[in-house]
Structure 1
Amino acid sequence: MSRAQASQDHELWSRTLSLLLLGFICYALPLSVFAAQDDAPVLRVQGSNTIGAKLGPELIKGLFAAQGLSDIRIVPGAADNEQRIVAKGADGRTLVAEVAAHGSGTGFVALEESSADLAAASRPIKDSEAEALAALGDMRSLAAEQIIAIDGLAIIVNPGNPVARLDIEQLARLFAGEIRDWRELGGRPGTVTLYARDDNSGTYDTFKELVLAPGTRKLAAEAKRFESSTALSDAVSQDANAIGFIGLPYIRQAKAVAIASGDSQPMLPSTSLIATEDYPLSRRLFLYAPPRSNNTWVRALIDFAHGPQGQKIVADSGFIAQTVRAIEVAPSAQMPAEYRELAAKAQRLSVNFRFQEGSASLDNKAQRDLNRVLDYLSGHDKMQNKAVLVGFGDPKSAPSRAELLSKLRAMAVRRELASQGVLFRDIIGLGDELPVAANDEDSGRIRNRRVEVWVY
């Protein structure tokens, strides 16, 4: 071997050894060392104002703390409704995450334009958005769609307004401008003033879908529009004739009214009714992550948000955590006999299993709820003959068919949990009893197809 060849071999060996050593070091180090160069953000979240105003920044702040970063602070971003979460790594390097809260639709556009790593949304991804992002993977898959919290759209009025309950039809007529004076609803005379979120808002998208769309109505042109949830709520609380819609944490000084859907009982946006998604205007809050993302902070934030620390931040931020707990339910004469007996002797868990649209398969939230329920049953000694599943559905031509289908839904949940060692005390199908939504629209029928869990 020549001296030149030996020198080349030695240089090649040295470079290879250096790369191997660098790879080992990178594998062994925590996420906190992977700061981007030139102060570029390590994580960019864009979308829902409901999430981005507080919850998103607080989750990132919690993740940074869990990763051992220090001097963590939230500071204003470059524009309104934008924030930066800044921290220092162990090596003294500054790490930055950015949250832009301009509405759910903007998050999906940002993913398509590669200007965001995660889309925050307060409504499910639309068909057109999923198609536009198909190159990133299946955005409706379990890996992509992350339900991080439950929220409820509160219908708010001025605290002095005597109207205490409305049904979905009345609500739709109000916001379409068909009801213009409060005396038509038993209130004091006064011209109704409408307050609504802006067109980019997931809150507005949810309101359109749940309230306006069933009657093919449109929001009245005179409605006052807001990008900020807080500003909208404060304006309603200061206007004697106002009515608006808002995410649950933003009720503030306004008054929430009880809402009924179809044959359901009027319900206030309480924690338990929103947790089970029985409240007519309950909704899920999402993070959407491209399944093939190679940003390690994306997966870290998702895992943190689903975990106990993240769910505590969800609750502390005013939303409803997905932590399973037992709820006392008062028996009533309107309940079927079997259900009334359960209410008298058992407790209901704060989770409902629901299914994919047009399918007998559990949806993405339900698939994660299987582990949450299993952890609860195991941790509270309810694994053997202490739990009951109750299935519900929508009306069918024959009541016996509705009852059978509702029981089959409960059996689908039983099959998943039984494989993990749960032995159930009973499986009940109650057909179309106790609806939580109107059955004249697909969205209502989907909500009514559910499985409850009760424990003795």
Structure 2
Amino acid sequence: MRQIRAAIFAALFPFMACLPAMAQDVTLTSRDGDVTITGDLLGFDGEFYRVDTIYGELTVDGSGVLCEGPGCPNLNAYVAEVTLSGAPTIGHILMPALIEAFALRQGLEAARDNASDVSFAYTLSDPTNGEARGRFYLRLTNTDEGFADLLAGEADMVMSLREVTRSEAIRGREAGLGDLRDTRRSRVLALDALVPLVSAGNPVTTITTPQLAQVLAGEITDWVQLGGADAPIAVHLHDSTTGLGQSTERRMLQGGATAFVDGTIRHLDGAALSQAVSQDPFALGIGSRSEKGLTFELALTGECGFAMQATRRAVKTEDYPLTAPMFLYLPARRLPKLVREFLAFTREPAAQLVIRRAGFVDQLPEEIAINDQGDRFANAVLRAGQEVTLGDLQRMTQILSPLKRLTTTFRFEPGSARLDAQSRSNVDGLARALESGFYDGRQLVFVGFSDGEGPAGANRKIALRRAKAVRDAVLHSAETAQLDRLKIETEAFGEAMPMACDDSEWGRRANRRVEIWMR
């Protein structure tokens, strides 16, 4: 079946002849004639040949060899090509917006060729002579299919709405793609969030995180139990074959849902889900922030009174507990120079602005002054545990008041000391900023916080260990940073400033964090 699908895709794009599936014989000879390598050409990125030989797969610098054989590329008319496969949420709007912005930055013209509703290509050409410089092929199915295409050699990158699974990582290593769980094999392209959705006519405006888990588990079945009309709740979720569906199920199970209620209505895409919910006054859906359509987002609350909504800043800081990173996964092989330049562009401020305008949450760090942080200090006084003293609160206020909070925040996987995916991306981003000298002359404080479970003294010690661990991870990654040009400190206040209620795992996870404060 996969061979048939590959043939169909190749027929749609006949100019894809240089993909690995079309490998041909080549002979590479050093310019002095002393060394000769023969094998099947697996790829050429404009600079390096990748050849399957009797010695295994070799990468050879093209400047040092001459190529002979039917598989040799035309060096004077080389076109960088890359195929991306996976989640339509990324491929429909975000990726085209980034490709077009990148072409503008490079002084190239971008032309789109639609082969079907799920397959299209962008050709980037030199406007002076019309010669193609690069082609981006996009295939929109779902995250599972994206990884399947990568493993089968039919794609170079995966557009994913979840992290790679263990079985996919094992098969990727066996296929010579490297360790797909390595931080170098993936990057967070943008951020989204999972949000509870209802129709605009539904009188319910908030739901506690335990109640949401109970609705999904079938323990709460009527709106009257949530303060609404006496009518059964119709639950809508993304299909379990989609990345968002799989991410939703994982997050809900972590939040206390033991299973999913029978009769749950599943949808293959976010637009269909939001449309169905908007038309049913008794529906409750879990959808994405970027595809809410005409629905209304319920605020997540808890018994302690906190209310959380998926605002741009709350998603960026992960203060909202159901963030959904959007990934690009790449194999451990050299990509064409133009493609590498595109990947570098996605991290630039200009690309982050494109991401925001496309309706997603960017990762550009922002500094938030105390006066712009809402009621954080008032909540610290009202919601801090009984073991947090007035002296603790005064000390925290005295230290943090002169500083600004950076939106770059670090949180941990449930039941683990390992940073979550968004936070691992934040380590890399902060390290690159330190290496560039962006924060030279500044004071950076890594501040640890905890949930309220357990003694306050022990929580402060745990929070301080986490702050030091995050600091060490950032400094380890910032290999070329001149650290004598800035001041780096660590602090911890434990449970003194909760962001959410501790009555669910989601709330406790939101409270276990390391923030960056600076001046």
TM-score of the two chains, using structure 1 as the length reference? 0.81
Which residues in structure 2 correspond to 1:282-297 (within 5 Å)?
Answer: 282-297=323-338
Q: 2:349 & 2:172 partners in 1: Cα distance?
A: 31
Q: 1:188 & 1:176 partners in 2: Cα distance?
A: 20
Q: 1:32 & 1:409 partners in 2: Cα distance?
A: 53
Q: Is the 8 A contact 2:379 2:498 kept in 1?
A: no
2:269 maps to which residue? Answer: 228
Structure 1 residue 454 and structure 2 residue 517: aligned?
A: yes
Of the structure 1 ranges 280-289 and 50-59, higher mean CA displacement relative to structure 2 is found in 50-59
Structure 1 residue 276 and structure 2 residue 317: aligned?
A: yes
Deviations 1:380-429 (A, max 9, x none): x7x344x4331123567543232122113323444528962364486321
Which residues in structure 2 correspond to 1:7-18 (within 5 Å)?
Answer: none
Q: Is the 8 A contact 1:260 1:280 kept in 2?
A: no
Q: For residues 262 and 32 of structure 1, do their structure 2 counterparts lie closer, same or farther at Cα, with a shift above 3 Å needed?
A: farther
| Equivalent of residue 120 in structure 2, options 83, 106, 130 | 83
Of the two structures, which has the highest relative contact order with CA contacts closer than 8 Å and spacing of 6 or more?
Answer: 1
Q: Is the 8 A contact 1:44 1:116 kept in 2?
A: yes
Amino acid at match of 2:96: P
Q: 2:304 & 2:87 partners in 1: Cα distance?
A: 32
Q: For residues 303 and 254 of structure 1, do their structure 2 counterparts lie closer, same or farther at Cα, with a shift above 3 Å needed?
A: same
Q: 1:360 & 1:223 partners in 2: Cα distance?
A: 33
1:8 maps to which residue? Answer: none
Cα offset, 1:55, TM superposition: 0.8
1:410 maps to which residue? Answer: 467
Q: 2:399 & 2:432 partners in 1: Cα distance?
A: 22
1:334 maps to which residue? Answer: 379
Structure 1 residue 211 and structure 2 residue 249: aligned?
A: no
Q: Is the 8 A contact 1:329 1:343 kept in 2?
A: no
Cα offset, 1:305, TM superposition: 1.1
2:168 maps to which residue? Answer: 129
Q: 2:137 & 2:346 partners in 1: Cα distance?
A: 17
1:420 maps to which residue? Answer: 483
1:6 maps to which residue? Answer: none
Q: Is the 8 A contact 1:44 1:98 kept in 2?
A: yes
| Equivalent of residue 236 in structure 2, options 195, 202, 213 | 195
2:493 maps to which residue? Answer: 430
Cα offset, 1:158, TM superposition: 0.6
Of the structure 1 ranges 174-183 and 366-375, higher mean CA displacement relative to structure 2 is found in 366-375
Unaligned stretches of 5+ residues in structure 2: 1-30, 36-46, 48-61, 67-74, 382-392
Q: For residues 414 and 143 of structure 1, do their structure 2 counterparts lie closer, same or farther at Cα, with a shift above 3 Å needed?
A: closer
Cα offset, 1:364, TM superposition: 2.8
Q: 2:100 & 2:311 partners in 1: Cα distance?
A: 28
| Equivalent of residue 449 in structure 2, options 367, 392, 397 | 392
Deviations 1:137-165 (A, max 9, x none): 11122321101112111221111212111
2:285 maps to which residue? Answer: 244
Of the structure 1 ranges 329-338 and 204-213, higher mean CA displacement relative to structure 2 is found in 329-338
Name the count of aligned residue pairs: 428
| Equivalent of residue 180 in structure 2, options 121, 139, 145 | 139
- Equivalent pairs: percent with the same residue? 28
Of the structure 1 ranges 391-400 and 276-285, higher mean CA displacement relative to structure 2 is found in 391-400
1:7 maps to which residue? Answer: none
Cα offset, 1:360, TM superposition: 6.8
Q: 1:356 & 1:373 partners in 2: Cα distance?
A: 24
1:5 maps to which residue? Answer: none
Give the alignment's Cα RMSD to 1 decimal: 3.7
Partner-residue secondary structure (3-state), 1:334: helix
Q: 2:113 & 2:217 partners in 1: Cα distance?
A: 39
| Equivalent of residue 92 in structure 2, options 25, 42, 53 | 53
Cα offset, 1:208, TM superposition: 0.7
Of the structure 1 ranges 56-65 and 147-156, higher mean CA displacement relative to structure 2 is found in 56-65
1:312 maps to which residue? Answer: 353
Q: 1:290 & 1:369 partners in 2: Cα distance?
A: 21
Q: Is the 8 A contact 2:302 2:503 kept in 1?
A: no
Q: 1:335 & 1:261 partners in 2: Cα distance?
A: 16
1:366 maps to which residue? Answer: 426
Amino acid at match of 1:307: E
| Equivalent of residue 350 in structure 1, options 407, 412, 427 | 407
Q: Is the 8 A contact 1:57 1:74 kept in 2?
A: no
